[in-house]
């Protein structure tokens, strides 16, 4: 799909008007595809398997946190990592401070100079203990570590309870 095709698709979906001429030519688009080969590449592996994690990108680095240990127990985890795609030949993962809580499938968002974690699924889902999901908000700043914004400010995410 070319840049022009993507712009037209966005227009049909109700997005604001996009000038296809400002997106570059089909030839430029093909050159970009040729440079990458259009294929996934295997880079540095995550140091420890975990799934359903939250994440976000700050300053070109991917932050990956929470989720659950992959098979066999599926226990919630508080582990957190950062991936630098330009370090070494395959990029590099580094462990960063653990989250303030073990979260099963948190939502992650990056904004300004912080990564935010919003809520999670019920503990050890789908094998729930009967507890509901958390409404806590945590923030991570590189060089600052994690902060529990819910404890500090009282702000919580809406849960519909």
Take residue 66 and report the two structure tokens written for it.
């929470």
Q: Which residue has the tokens 């303030």?
A: 100
pLDDT at 138 over 80: yes
pLDDT at 20 over 70: no
pTM check: above 0.95: no
* Tally of CB atoms within 10 A around 114: 18
Q: Where are the domains of the chain?
A: 3-36, 50-153
Instruction: Give the residue among 140, 128, 136, 141 at the shortest CA–CA distance from 154.
Output: 136
Average pLDDT over residues 110-125: 81
Query: pLDDT tens, 22-63?
Result: 544 444 444 444 455 667 777 888 888 888 899 999 999 999
């Amino acid at each position: 799909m070319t840049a022009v095709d993507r712009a037209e698709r966005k227009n049909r979906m109700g997005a604001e008007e996009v000038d296809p001429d400002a997106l570059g030519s089909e030839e430029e688009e093909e050159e970009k595809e040729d440079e990458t080969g259009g294929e996934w590449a295997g880079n540095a592996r995550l140091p420890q398997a975990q799934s359903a994690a939250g994440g976000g990108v700050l300053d070109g680095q991917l932050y990956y946190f929470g989720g659950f240990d992959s098979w066999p127990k599926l226990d919630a985890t508080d582990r957190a990592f950062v991936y630098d795609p330009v370090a070494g030949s395959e990029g590099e993962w580094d462990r960063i401070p653990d989250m303030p809580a073990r979260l099963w499938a948190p939502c992650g968002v990056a904004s300004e100079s912080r990564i935010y974690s919003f809520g999670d699924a019920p503990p050890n889902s789908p094998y729930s203990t009967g507890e509901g999901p958390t409404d806590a908000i945590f923030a991570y700043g590189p060089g600052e570590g994690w902060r529990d914004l819910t404890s500090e400010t009282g702000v919580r995410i809406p849960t519909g309870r």
